[in-house]
Every structure is written in structure tokens, then in C-alpha cells.
Structure 1
Amino acid sequence: MVTFLSLLLTPLFTPSSHAAQESPHSISFYPVALNHTTYITNRTQGTHGGIYSAPVHRASDPDENDRYNYCTMPHPRPETYVAPEPVANGSVAATLVYVEYMQRHQRRTPYNLLSELQDQEYTCDDVHPHIYAAPAPDNNNPAPIPVYGQTYTDPTNPFLTDTIPGTCQYPQLTKGGILDGYRHGRDLRAVYGGNSLLSETGPSSQVWLRASSSALTQGSAGAVLRGLWPDYNGGIALRRQTEGIDTVDSGFTCAARERMLEQMKAARVWREHLGVTMVLREELGEMFDISEEEEDGAWMNSFDHFADAFQARVCNGYGLPCRAKKEGEKEGENCVTQEQAEEVFRAGDWEWNYWFRGSDLAKEYIQLVGGLFIGEIVRRLEGVVEGRPDWVYSHTFMHDGDLGPVLGALGIRALRWPGMGANVAVEVWRTDGEGFYARVLYSGRTVETIHGTMEWMPLGELLEILGGFVPGDIVSMCED
């Protein structure tokens, strides 16, 4: 019987011929060994060609080869963007009629704090997170003062040891992340603004913009949209669903989703990955006084927390964390090493690939986590085919946990953790007399999947692939 896992492990190319054809971008995005736990422990892998660094307080410079960059993932940009191959070589006449664009928020401070034993400050004085509301435009009402938050600490607060010293909220966008967003938007304007999809002056009624209820996605939207429309002075409606029923960011309650995750973590291969990383986890746990019981084992039973804590530092110009010096210790005696961090990052990649590609339960898990949002994508694409498109450009600001299911549903050949600003663009092209064709880009390049490279495919085929991940009755599934 052909299983989801066997499809995943079936190579599309032999290793030798594939390596000869691949660019640095492709090599860094699609590790051949990612389905095996040896990927985690093989120190010669390093970061597998990926980048885990970014400058302080400024935008990241684009990488010439658009390699995997956790801190600032590549995106469509004019220097590298070309039309689909049949269009570019003139064998097909086609017009771009719709773009479905999804992106993770830009770089930020951490969710998970190695707080009580850290003494390195984390500063955010150069970011003004605005926190005010305004009535709909009305000549009879004054505009509110643009109030913004400024974090401080009171030295008499007895709980100061429970947080990282500094002037940040956790998590929040950093200045570098905001400036990355401006560049992201400017590049999208250069790629998609030269046709009827995006007006030069501002968003039209045929543009759909959406974010999760998180300040991270909403703040990223403000930066990216300023890049899209640099001279626009009006307000822009950023749609968001009601908290508690949101179809992104796991916004609705689903007990089955949590049970499914526990089943996946009970599998032999998950336990194997914990076994091969036992020494690393024990070293980090001892360094930062973290036990199996802390936060129900979240720090020690997955690499989500350690990876987040490390990434949020190196992605904003800080060094890897050190434990505050205790009496009798030398300065810097207990610091995370580069080798330890790289193994944590590889383990994080392995876990994401397992959840959304490698596990025998991946398809069902994708349906529970992202199936409703995938259904929204499918309906918008169907509207284009049926000649009743509501929009020509849709842009959703979301999270890594939303992009993972989408990439898993597409059948991406290998899924590394979707980094900051990671993005998927579904382009729909109308041909002369042949119907609609799709191209799918991941972080600016055509995505490589178990179905082949999605450079030029009948839109109906893409709809069939995605449709298999749309749940029939999510309410019943979540209750079971």
C-alpha cells in the first residue's frame, strides 16, 4: 500500500544528478537527509547552507543566491524574478490574473525566555508599537493621539528576575524586522505592480488583505504595505477573524488537534529523535536550570523553545545566550556554543518536516491545523476559474504554524522551519484558449514537491492536490 510517508521518501531525482542541477538556493532549502534523525546529529551538516544571522537595527541584505535564511527568508524580488518558463521562452502566451500571497511575520523578539539565568539586555527603544483606536472617519470626531507603548522596568519590582532585562515586550517586532518588511513590500511592488493586479496609488477594491489577531502579523502588514504603496496616505482595512474562531494561528479550539500531536509524539521515530539528542538536551537543561517538568516538559520534549530563544537573538544581532555568572565561575563559562545551536536548529527543521511531511498522520494533522484556511484558498482559486473572482490579489499575514500546513499540503520535498518573512505565492495565469495554469513559489523560487516542480501546471491539478487537505466536517473532527 502506498502511504503518505512512502510518497515522501520516494526521491524525484537520484542524489548525483539532482545535486548537479541544484542551485545554492535549492540545496539549502531541500536537505536530502532531512527525513532521517542522522540529519540532526551529523555536525558536518552545520546549518546545511542556511543563514542564521542578521544585522542590528537595520534591514537584512538580500543573499545573492537566495539561500534559506531563517532570519529573513527570501521573497520574490526583481533581481531574480522571471515569468514561468513557458511564458518566458515565448512558447505560451499568458497573462497573470491572480496572486494568492501568504507570508509569516518579520523578525522579532522571542516567545520563550531563558530568563532567570540570563543577564544580557534586549533593547527595543527604537520601535514604537502603536496601541490606539480611532472611530471611522467622521468630520465631527477628532483623531486620537497616536499612542505607542514604551516598555520599562521598575527596579523595585520583585519579579524582575522572571524576564530578560531590557526594553522589549516578548514577542514583538524589532526595528530590523520592520525594515525587512518595508523591503519585502517594495520588492513585491516591483514584481507585481507593473500590471493590473496592484494599483500604483493604493489598494483597490480587488485587493484582499488579512492578518491574524497577533500584533506581530499586524505590525508586519503595516511595514510591508508601506513598501507596496509608498505614497499612499489613507487608512487600509486589514481583515481579521474574531478571536476564538480564527482559521489561522490555531485560532479555534480543537481537542483532536492536540490529541493528534500527542499521537505523533508517541511514534517510534519521534522517540528516536529525542534519544539521539538526549545529551544536547541535558547540556542545555543543566546550563539554564530547565527540568523535564518545566512548562509540562515543553523545553525538553521538543526543540521549539530552545530554537526560538536562540533564533530571536542571532536574528537581531545578538550573540547566543549565556547563563549569568555565578559565584566562582568565569565570565562566559556557560554559553551556548555554535555547534550546540546548529544542532538545535537542525532538530527544529527535522521536527517541522516530521509534523507536516514525514509522519504517517501528517495529512490528518494538516487538515486539523490548516485545513480551513486551505479551503479558503481553494475557494478563491475556484472563483478565478469560474470567472467570478472577488479579488485579483490576496495577501495574508500569518505565522510559521500556518505556512507549515500549506507547504505540507503542496507536498514540499523537504520542509525546513519556515523562517521570518517566509512566503508562498500562488500565481494564476490565463492562457489564450488553454485555460488557467498555476505556478507556486516558495520564498521566491518555484517550490519542489513530490508531485514535481510546480512551475507550470493546470490550475485544476493544483486544486485537486490542495482539495485533499480540506476537511469535510471540521466541527465533528475536532470533537472526536
Structure 2
Amino acid sequence: MRTVYEGILDMLTFFLSVFFSGTSLAAVDSFYPPLNHTTYITNASLGTYGGVFSAPSDQASPTGNDVYNYCSMPHPHVDTYSVPRPIANHSVSAKLVYLEYLQRHQRRTPYNILPGGENQEYNCDAIHPHLFAAPAGQGPSPMQVYGQAYTDPTNPFLTTGSYINGTCQYPQLTIGGYLDGYQHGRDLHAVYSKKLGLIPESLKESDKTVFFRSSSAALTQGSAGGVLRGLWPEYTGPLPLHQQLASVDSVNRGFSCPVRDTILSAIQSTAEWNEHIEVTAGLRNQLAEMFDAQDSSAWLETWDHFADNFQGRLCNGYQLPCRLQDGSQCVSKMQAYEVFRAGDWMYNYWWRRNPNVTEYIQVIEGLFIAEIVRKFEAVQERRSEVVYSHTFAHDGDIAPMLGALGIRALRWPGMGSNVAFEIWETDEAEFYARVLYSGRAIETVHGVLEWVPLSSLIEILKVFIPEDIVGLCTSS
């Protein structure tokens, strides 16, 4: 474990560099904060470290800002996109031949409802989550039914903390999330269809050059509907969104793997993890008392629940919560920001810094990484019909992928966060890759992945593909 003095030295170095460069804190690179010590969590002067944690309730999030925006992360945008540097400076002539795109779903209501109850109701009347099936061939078309949340006033559970008055399910895509997805798709079309000519301008249902996939969650499916409509506003008819069986899905922790819990327990037993628990004890105790979470390990062992609840509010135009029984006890912005910084530190430790990180990524995301690598090899061997593959998944998929790539500092991947693997072929028939994270070349321990041989990218990822995932998952 690094000493607190090393952490203080890190922070002093950071602030001195800001001071002497004439740069304000808000202008720092918000994607890569100093996450190697718990002083990142406890230093209140860091605030959100230049990040954005708010969005309007019924509109798309503002676009074009090249900053970490948890509510709607940046993505490739025609106003900021440029081709790889060797192509731009004419030292290489190449064309884009393949795009592998992985993204988290767009913004939503929270998963985690405060144990003591919620003091605000959520309204989802502006979005209709459709729920229907249709025959693949001839047959009557279905009624386009959608889910409408309601409560029976005689239900005795209405007085428990698990109920929130309103018209939402938890979690569900919000109207703001849907509109963000639509804009996300329009921006991808402007870059990869109009500017670069890779994605087809128009689409047919039988088009074999594109492939779309999601997890089995309604959040990813609803996000796909918004993004794909943005890509092709004029398209009519259905479109296949591929999903693996939920029990063996290689995303969203679909397949059973008991050893995951064993590895996570080891990760959360280290001196560094315990230090972060110690320095945040005051905040944790304050929130637990405010929201009756003292006896809930789920709310106290990690920052997942509190951060999710606060993010889900702020990203959809709501206020931070107050205690249901006492409206004067409310979460302050300073407390929320510390929760968010603690969440950043947690994700960076889980997926970048802990001593078991390679094995942990293998049992969480190794199968999906193997699928991606096989696609790259198919492009390399000129066996791929597909030129554009898009997977709609979760933060628990984005984070281990970024960890496998060796991202220099990992903040909690926000809503709509995305990894774009671009494969370019030179006039000399050589394949190179560029990896963009939320629209910008990713900075990693291997350097900036701006222009690397495709074979080198494959070798970086292969480390995280388990040789025997079944054996690894059942090992004790």
C-alpha cells in the first residue's frame, strides 16, 4: 500500500502543474484524474474533477463537450472527429474497413431505491416501453402494447421503503435517455456513413454488412431502438437485434461463474481497499443513518448503490434525495461529489489496480473479449462480411474492456459510454487499429492507441482471454 505521504505528493504535484500552467481545475483532462490514491476521494476541492453529473429531464443532453459527462458520455462526433494522425499528415494512405462499437445503454431511472424510502416521485409518462411479439412470417400483426406503470391503492406494500410514487419502473430508460440515443445514432451516421462511407447510408433488413447485439435487458434493447433510429431515420420494418441466451450470455455476467465472488472477495480484502473503506467511513455512516441503510451490506460494502441512486436523480432532472421522514436532512452536493469520486476510485481499483485484475477481467469479460478478437482476426484474414458491429451492453462490460486495454485512469463509465475499435487497411494491405473511448483515442499503459498494428491490439487483448473458462469458473 502506498503511504498517505505519497498520495499527498501526487496531489501537490497535480495542483502545482495546474497552477504553473495557468489552467483551471475545470479545464483539466476530466477523463484521466489522479486515481492512484484515496486522496482523490477525500479531497473536496476536486469536486467532480471537471465532470458533468446533470441533464434535463425531457430533452437530449447537450452535445459537443469533450469532457467526462456521466449522464451522456461523448461519442464520435463530426465536429471533433479526425482521421488517425498518420493519415491526416499524409504519411500513410489507408481506408476504414471495419468498426466494432461497444456502448453502455443511455440514461435511466435508478436500480437502487433508498431503504428508508424516496422523497420524490419519478415520472415516465413521456416514454412508452413497448412489449409485444410478432410472427416472423405470415400472420396477424400484433397490437403494439406498452408497459404503463401503476399501483393499486390497496396494495399493503405501498407503505414500505421499496415503493416510489410515480409512473416509472426501476430501472427503465427515460425519455432523456431515448433522445440521447437518437442523437448518438445521428452522430455516428454523420461520421461513419457520411464522412467515412463505412456504414451504409440506407439499410435493408437482410444487409449482411451490419450486426447488432444487446444484452437481454430492456435497457439495452430500448437504447438500441433509439440509436439505430438515429442511424437510419427513414428505415421501415423490423431489424434483428441479436441476443445470446441469458444463462450463457458473454455480456452482463450472463453465465454462471462462482469463482467471481471469490476473486472479488480477495480484491476487497487488500490494504488499499481497506484504506478506502477507512477514509470514507464518516460519509458512509452519514448516508446510512440518513436513509436507514445501517443494516444493509449492499449499501455499505461498495459505492454502487448510493452512486446509482444519486446519478439516476441528477441525470434526469431531479434533486438529490432527502430523508423521507425529515425533509431537512438532505444529501449535499459535496457529499454526492465525494460519492462519485469514491465510485471512480472503486472502478479504477476493480479493473486497473488490484493484484487479481487479470483473472477478474477473464471471468467477467473474457468470453466477450474472445469474440471481439475472433472478429478482428476475420478482418485480418479477409473473411468478414460484416463491416460494422454494434453491441449494446452495460457499465459492467465497458469497464473490464477498458481495463483489458490498459486505460491510464478509469472513471466509472457513464451513460452511453462507448469504445470504438476502428480497423484501417493501408495501400500496402497492412491492417492498423485505432481505439476511441467516448470519441477520443484512448490513453493506456501501452501508449495512446492512435495507430497500432492490428496484431499488436490483438496481443494486448489476448492476455484476458481464459484458456478454460469453465474450469476457471468452477475452481475453488
2:88 pairs with 1:93: no
Question: Offset of 1:325 from its aligned partner?
Answer: 3.5
Would the aligned equivalents of 2:75 and 2:417 in 1 still touch at CA under 8 Å?
Answer: yes
Would the aligned equivalents of 1:116 and 1:164 in 2 still touch at CA under 8 Å?
Answer: no
Distance 1:384 1:178 in 2: 32
Aligned residue in 2 for 1:35:
36
Aligned residue in 2 for 1:451:
446
2:416 pairs with 1:413: no
2:222 pairs with 1:219: yes
Aligned residue in 1 for 2:105:
105
Would the aligned equivalents of 1:115 and 1:164 in 2 still touch at CA under 8 Å?
Answer: no
Query: In the TM superposition, what are the counterparts of 1:262-273 in structure 2 within 5 Å?
Result: 262-273=265-276
Candidates 427, 431, 437, aligned match of 1:432: 427
Question: Offset of 1:142 from its aligned partner?
Answer: 1.0
Question: Offset of 1:196 from its aligned partner?
Answer: 4.4
Aligned residue in 2 for 1:57:
58
Aligned length: 456
- Report the residue type matching 2:136 in the other structure: A
Aligned residue in 1 for 2:3:
none
Would the aligned equivalents of 1:26 and 1:67 in 2 still touch at CA under 8 Å?
Answer: no
- Report the residue type matching 1:231 in the other structure: E
Aligned residue in 1 for 2:47:
46
Structure 1, unaligned stretches of length 5 or more? 1-10, 327-331
Residues 17 and 86 from structure 1, CA distance in 2 versus in 1: closer, same or farther, beyond 3 angstroms?
Answer: farther
**Secondary structure in 2 matching 1:193:** helix
Query: In the TM superposition, what are the counterparts of 1:378-397 in structure 2 within 5 Å?
Result: 378-397=373-392
Question: Offset of 1:118 from its aligned partner?
Answer: 2.1
Question: Offset of 1:346 from its aligned partner?
Answer: 0.3
Query: In the TM superposition, what are the counterparts of 1:214-363 in structure 2 within 5 Å?
Result: 214-291=217-294, 293-294=295-296, 297-326=297-326, 332-363=327-358
Candidates 118, 125, 149, aligned match of 2:147: 149
Q: Please provide the CA RMSD for this pair.
A: 1.8
Question: Offset of 1:200 from its aligned partner?
Answer: 1.3
**Secondary structure in 2 matching 1:224:** helix
Would the aligned equivalents of 1:184 and 1:224 in 2 still touch at CA under 8 Å?
Answer: yes
2:213 pairs with 1:210: yes
Would the aligned equivalents of 2:181 and 2:227 in 1 still touch at CA under 8 Å?
Answer: yes
Distance 2:343 2:90 in 1: 42
Aligned residue in 2 for 1:4:
none
Distance 2:292 2:429 in 1: 63
**Secondary structure in 2 matching 1:97:** strand
Would the aligned equivalents of 2:28 and 2:50 in 1 still touch at CA under 8 Å?
Answer: no
Question: Offset of 1:17 from its aligned partner?
Answer: 8.0
Question: Offset of 1:117 from its aligned partner?
Answer: 3.0
**Secondary structure in 1 matching 2:262:** helix
Distance 1:475 1:21 in 2: 54
- Report the residue type matching 1:193 in the other structure: S
Aligned residue in 2 for 1:329:
none
- Report the residue type matching 1:68 in the other structure: Y
List per-residue Cα deviations over 1:118-141 (Å, max 9, x = no partner). Answer: 231111011100011111031xx1
Question: Offset of 1:278 from its aligned partner?
Answer: 0.2
Distance 1:34 1:21 in 2: 22
Would the aligned equivalents of 1:106 and 1:181 in 2 still touch at CA under 8 Å?
Answer: yes
Q: Between the two proteins, what is the percent identity of the paired residues?
A: 59
Distance 1:437 1:408 in 2: 21
Distance 2:23 2:234 in 1: 40
Distance 1:46 1:251 in 2: 36
Distance 2:385 2:27 in 1: 35
Query: TM-score scaled by structure 1?
Result: 0.92
Distance 2:63 2:342 in 1: 26
Query: TM-score scaled by structure 2?
Result: 0.93
Candidates 396, 399, 407, aligned match of 1:404: 399
Residues 222 and 82 from structure 1, CA distance in 2 versus in 1: closer, same or farther, beyond 3 angstroms?
Answer: same
Would the aligned equivalents of 1:185 and 1:225 in 2 still touch at CA under 8 Å?
Answer: yes
Question: Offset of 1:436 from its aligned partner?
Answer: 0.5
- Report the residue type matching 1:201 in the other structure: S
Distance 2:56 2:113 in 1: 21
Residues 385 and 21 from structure 1, CA distance in 2 versus in 1: closer, same or farther, beyond 3 angstroms?
Answer: farther
Distance 1:197 1:455 in 2: 19
Question: Offset of 1:434 from its aligned partner?
Answer: 5.4
